[in-house]
Amino acid sequence: MAWVLTGGNRNDITQLLPLLDRVPAVAGRPGRPRRRPDRLLGDRGYCSNAHRQALRERRITPLLANRYQGNGSGLGRYRRVVERTFSWLHQMKRLLVRYERRAEIHEAFLALGCCLICYRRLTHSL
């Protein structure tokens, strides 16, 4: 799990590549650990040729909804996972409304919230 903390008025597409750089290595299999995902799912806001090319250079298959086609791309069922995670984070009131002035403190609460979500998911799956 990775995140980037930005201001509320920043566009999501500006943080796509820095967010991919923050994805940690995934261990478990023999050999060199993976540093990047195989595919990236995104909505129409991420549809640009420059970002598609940057993803292909990183050997990531871009599965982005096309901006110029109608609804029904089929990515909604996968997008639900992201929106559900936002909902879980917003149940923690300290993350819903930002009370901290310093970004480091808010990012620490965000990390703690992500750890709690992972812990809850792991304990309920056993």
pLDDT tens-place string over residues 8-59? 777 878 888 888 888 887 777 787 777 777 888 877 777 788 888 999 998 8
Answer yes or no: are the C-beta atoms of 51 and 62 closer than 8 Å: yes
Three-state secondary structure call for residue 69: coil
Parent domain of 109: 91-126
Q: Report d(CA 54, CA 49) in Å as an integer.
A: 9
Q: Is residue 84 part of a domain?
A: no
Q: Is residue 45 part of a domain?
A: yes
**Helix (H) or strand (E) segment spanning residue 26:** none
54 or 126: which leads in pLDDT: 54
Do residues 60 and 26 share a domain? Answer: yes
The number of domains in the chain is: 2
pTM value is 0.69
Residue 62 phi/psi, 5-degree rounding, is -80, 120
Of the candidates 54, 67, 63, the residue with the CA atom closest to the CA atom of residue 19: 54
